[in-house]
Chains A and B, each alone.
Chain A
């Protein structure tokens, strides 16, 4: 039964195009990574730091994730079958591990040549480390799903501190495999993975219907505070709705009901964090080595761009065509939304812009070159990402249609392409100020062109309606 069940779960979660693209991705990453590594030592260091950043992101996401991913079809068909819940939970866990392993290949792919370049045991340890990292992420998501919010925050802070310690040369961190401490890093990673997986399996072995419910978080039935749109203009209403919060869309399973859910974080809260990070950034940077300082300054816009693209991929999936586009011209509606989102990003980046201005006065000349990318290129890239994702993949979450991270089709994979383009544009913008000005002008021009061109939005609405997302 185990084999058949697992086969079924894997078939319902992965598409053949995805596996083909995964193979291409690995090949591309190895070639691209190797060429960058051979030609530019500084870029190599930046890519190594990217490894630490991705690890932090994945671990923290795991802490705040919802445990096992159960799809609507699972609830309708699989959960009604006479299969023992422990067996089901275990196989769902294995399917999730495979899903995250593929996700990790996409995320860490470009770092593979840099890890291998450290030589020695890296050739043996690399596949083991990738598996251990996947196990650690998946098991943390299961173990943390039962924790209280406070405990999750505490665990998140611990994991951020522990993982980022590798940047300062601490060898006993799971991310130190990216910073030259392959042996110690691998040992720590494997031990952490074994311990956390054991804890997750223990959690899963006790699974009953009730426990499965606790593996996924309950969400509030009501909004905390009703927002009023009374007396607002159309622009005011769209702006108010989209400026005040950063939204992440995702799918969750609650009790026996599956829902696609938007999680909003108030911009004011994110601003507080952004301000604190800006202050820490200014205070810490002069204390560290100048070369590392330069790398951090250069690397910051890239990290912010990564987050922006992550957030904006699904920006329009919750829109309602029958409401929004029969009330307003789609082009105008999109223009208002993108203006709100771009301005919320500018607001969010402002503490870092001020911090970089301060740093430039303190002697870090390179800090000033990040200002244009932060204020123009990245917010415009967000709009362009939103546009591209919307046009290439006109999908909406009508109600309940959760997907695993890897249950995507070829079109959806295409939506990732501009991210790589923007990534390179932002990197060049920071390294070469003139190129930065040109990139900002081009992205701003493109954004304005799309915001005032009716045709793509007409096509989007048409495609959306044809696909049945009204």
Chain B
């Protein structure tokens, strides 16, 4: 297996500014195929910016991003990548089914109707089939957004606060689903319990730089006996300020 095939996601020395504000500074990390990573950090750490750079929606000022060995703006990278932004809003004027079928068609999903039916069943969206998205509750919209991000069965999934707004049964369903998929994933979240249930590895960001990187187990071992993981993370992040 060549270097290109080893890594699902590669980030090499990326920096990104917004005006005079440095959002990310010389960020480096690699995620092997099939591994699940959490992106942790306080507000303004650069988590969402990192995901946007990985999707190709933003370009870095310097450095390089590779998705499956290629630039994220290539057709190949787009076809293997799924993305869910924070507070995602699908097409407001389309119904739930229309949103799914439309994106399914854009992504050239083989059997769009079947894929749509399966996802609507899984996320209990059947009763909202004809409902305009603009009229849905935030929780139902989030279910649809999740469904849209995985309709093409991506090999790499980038999720920004995926469990926001979801009720507890749906949260459990989504956690089970994401854990069952053999994919490479990077989940940005504030919530440690979400990170620890969805991933086994952590990249901790603070003020645009990587503060710590390693496995969830190693992170736990950094604390005192019985110290909650949230407390360890909080201590590390506070120390970085």
Contact = CB atoms under 8 A, between A and B. Distances in A.
B131 interface: yes
Nearest to B55: A326
A399 interface: yes
Contact of B101 (A229, A397, A466): A229
A327 B85 contact: no
Contact of B113 (A230, A233, A234, A462): A230
Contacts of B111: 230
Interface in B9-62: 18, 52, 55-59
Interface in B98-114: 98, 101-108, 111-113
Instruction: Tell me the interface secondary structure of chain A in the complex.
Output: mixed
A470 B101 contact: no
17 contacts: A227-B101, A229-B102, A230-B101, A230-B104, A232-B105, A241-B102, A260-B134, A264-B93, A318-B92, A322-B84, A326-B55, A326-B83, A329-B75, A398-B87, A462-B57, A470-B52, A470-B57
B206 interface: no
A227 B98 contact: yes
Contacts of B63: none
A465 interface: yes
B81 A259 contact: no
Given A234-B108, A327-B103, A228 B89 contact: no
Contacts of A461: 57
Contacts of A220: 132
A265 interface: no
**Pairs A-B, 9 closest by C-beta atoms:** A237-B105, A229-B101, A229-B105, A327-B106, A262-B93, A230-B113, A222-B130, A465-B57, A223-B95
B225 to A, nearest CB: 42
B89 A398 contact: yes
B78 A233 contact: no
Given A232-B105, A234-B106, A321-B57, A226 B130 contact: yes
B194 interface: no
Interface in B114-149: 116, 129-132, 134-135, 148
Contacts of B165: none
Nearest to A320: B91
Nearest to A319: B91
B134 A226 contact: no
Interface string A427-451: 0000000000000000000000000
A124 interface: no
Contacts of A326: 55-57, 78, 81, 83
Contacts of B192: none
A325 interface: yes
A323 B91 contact: yes
A178 B73 CA distance: 54
A229 B112 contact: yes
A233 B57 contact: no
Nearest to A232: B105
A262 B18 CA distance: 32
A231 interface: yes
Nearest to A231: B112
Contacts of B84: 322
Interface of B: 18, 52, 55-59, 73, 75, 78, 81, 83-85, 87-95, 97-98, 101-108, 111-113, 116, 129-132, 134-135, 148
Contact of A261 (B55, B59, B98, B134): B134
Most A-side CB within 10 Å, residue of B101, B105, B134: B105
B105 A234 contact: yes
A236 interface: yes
A259 B133 CA distance: 11
Contact of A327 (B59, B78, B92, B129): B78
A328 interface: yes
B101 A222 contact: no
B93 A238 contact: no
A465 B52 contact: yes
A41 interface: no
A386 B55 CA distance: 25
B144 to A, nearest CB: 11
A159 B88 CA distance: 43
Nearest to A223: B95
B88 A322 contact: yes
Given A229-B98, A322-B57, A322-B83, A262 B108 contact: no
Instruction: Tell me the interface secondary structure of chain B in the complex.
Output: mixed
B97 A226 contact: yes
Contact of B102 (A233, A237, A399, A458): A237
A279 interface: no
Given A222-B132, A227-B98, A323-B106, 13 more contacts: A221-B131, A222-B95, A232-B112, A236-B105, A237-B106, A318-B91, A320-B89, A321-B57, A322-B57, A326-B56, A326-B83, A398-B87, A462-B58
Contacts of A233: 105, 108
A28 B83 CA distance: 48
A221 B132 contact: yes
B47 to A, nearest CB: 13
A236 B112 CA distance: 14
Interface string A271-285: 000000000000000
Nearest to A222: B130
Nearest to A398: B89
Interface string A335-372: 00000000000000000000000000000000000000
Nearest to A324: B106
Interface in A454-470: 458, 461-462, 465-466, 470
Contacts of B59: 458, 462
A339 to B, nearest CB: 15
Contacts of B91: 318, 320, 323
Contacts of B113: 228, 230
Nearest to B113: A230
A141 B108 CA distance: 45
Given A318-B92, A322-B83, A328-B106, A226 B98 contact: yes
Interface in A206-240: 220-223, 226-234, 236-238
